């Protein structure tokens, strides 16, 4: 065997998989010669001829198995809307922004679900059960925690509405937990994606009226801690925050957002909680858009230009949603879709609203918000939760691409939700403390203390010395006679 042979580097094929063929001599300024030890000229010639072939075979042997790990590209006839719909909804979550099923569990069953009276796997009356949700290829649902506005009390009179809201949250959390193979409770958008990938229906909580927090920012914080992730700023009544659409429809003045409502917006932004503008007046919509630091949502509304119902957003608001980065989720309520003949409302009316929103705001700002299990009547063709694929197919027939459908179905909502969360984190990082503002009307009836309250400050004692106060019962004997102070 001849001694080591020195060969110019340009005659040798560099193979990164064979260290013996790589130049490890140092920087490029050094000699470019490569030493081939113990190789005669025939061996060098053979290696030169076959090294590239060996390398190609090695690469192929690795890449072929890896190709099976790539998602298969499915060829679907673009006019086969059913097949396209099935494919899109199996790979992107369809998330509805508003369903009132927890309300029905409360009013029909008094919140009871462990005695065998409720089985969501059964085919139920109404709009919602597991069988039909699966048929509708649902990937997620915001469950509405709804309590009616009190009509017999003033805006700050005592009611049981906060208690009832807490019970609704409890009911929602419990029925989600009762079906762990079907539902997964989520309080953040990443969880919703994870649930969908696991084959479960992501389940979130939204509160359908600002009156349900007792006109209190402190109560909002507690509701957030319990899992609520949006608040519909008003329902069908005004509250301390804003004017409702129903007030304007009844001939009342549209005062928009109140001064305390500005504090509400600030605190919702700080929490990273979604502000829902369904049910509010048009001026309230505009006012909130003008002051919020975060995107907003409409959980179940439509386009005012399509149907002149005050529950819908006018075009200037739709343009504001686009600038704001928010989303409006199309509602399925008959009387909002066809005011003159609600019984004639159809799936095509819903599509008309969606396409108008798209024309003004774009596909990035539209979603689905049915109001199933809340509305007493539904459009022809959208009778229950099994019908979402029909809606998607009809949108495709109107020209929507698969990517646009993914945005509409759930990607928009998840993006907006994530943006709101992020802004909340940024605001808190600025050192912003929880908002301590109190509605002035409440202060008028604020507790003044007891006759012998151990006030902390002399100024308080002087200020309240002439106010008549009720003595606390710890100063009362068993016979009802006050003890000496």
Chain segment 104-121, per-residue pLDDT in tens: 999 999 999 999 999 999
List 103, 235, 312, 365, catalytic entry: 235
459 bridge partner residues: none
Residue 262 annotated among the catalytic residues of the structure: no
Q: What is the pLDDT of residues 258-313, one digit of tens each?
A: 999 999 999 999 999 999 999 999 999 999 999 999 999 999 999 999 999 999 99
List 96, 100, 384, 421, catalytic entry: 100
pLDDT for 440 equals: 84
Residue 282 annotated among the catalytic residues of the structure: no
Q: What is the pLDDT of residues 377-389, one digit of tens each?
A: 999 999 999 999 9
Confidence of residue 479 (pLDDT cuts 50, 70, 90): low
**81-429 fold:** TIM Barrel (3.20.20)
Please name which of 282, 277, 301, 308 lies closest in space to residue 371, comparing C-alpha atoms.
Answer: 301
Contact 39, 5 (CB under 8 A): yes
Percent of the chain with pLDDT over 90: 72
Q: Which two tokens stand for residue 277?
A: 């503008």
Residue 98 annotated among the catalytic residues of the structure: yes
Domain ranges of the chain: 5-56, 81-429, 449-485
Pick the more confident residue, 17 or 315. 315
For residues 278 and 317, what is the distance between their CA atoms, to the nearest angstrom?
12
Other C-beta atoms lying within 10 Å of the C-beta of residue 469:
14
Q: Is the pLDDT of residue 337 over 80?
A: yes
List 103, 127, 211, 279, catalytic entry: 279
Q: What is the pLDDT of residues 77-90, one digit of tens each?
A: 999 999 999 999 99
Q: What is the pLDDT of residues 159-194, one digit of tens each?
A: 899 999 999 999 999 999 999 999 999 999 999 999
Q: Is the pLDDT of residue 366 over 80?
A: yes
Contact 399, 352 (CB under 8 A): no
Q: Which two tokens stand for residue 154?
A: 């003033």
> What average pLDDT does the segment 400-427 reach?
98
List 263, 371, 384, 421, catalytic entry: 371
DSSP per position, 388-408: HHHHHHHHHHTT--HHHHHII
- What are 350-355's contacts with CB under 8 Å, separation 24+? 350/302, 350/379, 350/382, 350/391, 351/391, 351/394, 351/395, 351/398, 352/306, 353/302, 353/303, 353/306, 353/307, 353/312, 354/330, 354/395, 354/408, 355/395, 355/398
Residue 353 annotated among the catalytic residues of the structure: no
Q: Which two tokens stand for residue 408?
A: 């509409």
Q: Is the pLDDT of residue 53 over 70?
A: no
Q: Is the pLDDT of residue 395 over 60?
A: yes
Confidence of residue 73 (pLDDT cuts 50, 70, 90): low
List 96, 103, 127, 208, catalytic entry: 208
Residue 100 annotated among the catalytic residues of the structure: yes
Q: Is the pLDDT of residue 315 over 50?
A: yes
DSSP per position, 435-457: P----HHHHHT-----TT---S-
Confidence of residue 7 (pLDDT cuts 50, 70, 90): very low
List 300, 309, 312, 353, catalytic entry: 300
Q: Which residues contact 344 (CB under 8 A, 6 or more apart)?
A: 338, 380
């Amino acid at each position: 065997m001849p001694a080591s042979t020195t060969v110019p580097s340009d005659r040798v094929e560099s193979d990164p998989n064979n260290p013996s063929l790589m130049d490890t001599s140092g920087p490029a300024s050094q000699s470019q010669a490569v030493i081939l030890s113990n190789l005669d000229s025939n061996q060098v010639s053979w290696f030169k001829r076959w090294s590239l072939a060996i390398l190609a075979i090695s690469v192929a042997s690795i890449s072929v198995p890896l190709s099976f790990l790539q998602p298969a590209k499915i060829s679907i006839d673009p006019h086969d809307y059913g097949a396209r719909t099935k494919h899109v909804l199996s790979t992107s979550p369809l998330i509805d922004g508003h369903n009132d099923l927890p309300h029905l569990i409360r009013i029909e069953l008094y919140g009871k679900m462990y005695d065998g009276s409720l089985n969501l796997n059964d085919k139920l009356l109404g709009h919602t059960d597991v069988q039909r949700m699966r048929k509708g290829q649902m990937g997620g649902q915001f469950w509405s925690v709804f309590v009616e506005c009190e009509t017999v009390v003033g805006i700050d009179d005592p009611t049981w509405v906060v208690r009832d809201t807490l019970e609704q949250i409890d009911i929602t959390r419990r029925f989600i937990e009762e079906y762990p193979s079907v539902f997964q409770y989520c309080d953040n958008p990443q969880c919703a994606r994870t649930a969908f990938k696991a084959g479960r229906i992501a389940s979130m909580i939204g509160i359908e009226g600002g009156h349900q927090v007792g006109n209190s920012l402190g109560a909002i914080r507690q509701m957030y801690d319990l899992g609520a992730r949006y608040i519909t700023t008003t329902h069908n009544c005004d509250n301390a925050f804003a004017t409702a659409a129903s007030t304007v429809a009844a001939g009342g003045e549209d005062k928009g957002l109140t001064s305390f409502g500005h504090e509400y917006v600030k605190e919702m932004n700080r929490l990273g909680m979604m502000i829902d503008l369904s049910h509010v007046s048009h001026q309230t919509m505009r006012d909130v858009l003008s002051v919020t630091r975060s995107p907003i949502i409409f959980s179940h509304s439509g386009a005012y230009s399509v149907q002149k119902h005050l529950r819908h957003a006018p075009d200037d608001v739709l343009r504001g949603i686009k600038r704001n980065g928010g989303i409006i989720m199309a509602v399925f309520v008959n009387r909002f879709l066809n005011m003159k003949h609600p019984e004639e409302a159809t799936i095509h009316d819903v599509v008309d609203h969606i396409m108008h929103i798209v024309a003004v705001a774009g596909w990035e700002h539209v979603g689905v918000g049915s109001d199933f299990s809340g509305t007493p009547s539904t459009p022809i063709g959208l009778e229950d939760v099994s019908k979402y694929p029909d809606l998607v197919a009809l949108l495709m027939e109107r020209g929507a691409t698969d990517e646009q459908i993914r945005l509409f179905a759930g990607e928009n909502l998840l993006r907006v939700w994530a943006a709101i969360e992020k802004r909340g984190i940024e605001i808190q990082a600025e050192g912003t403390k929880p908002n301590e503002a109190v509605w002035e009307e409440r202060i008028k009836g604020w507790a003044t203390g007891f006759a012998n309250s151990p006030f902390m400050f002399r100024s308080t004692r002087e200020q309240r010395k002439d106010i008549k106060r009720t003595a606390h019962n710890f100063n009362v004997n068993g016979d009802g006679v006050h003890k000496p102070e």
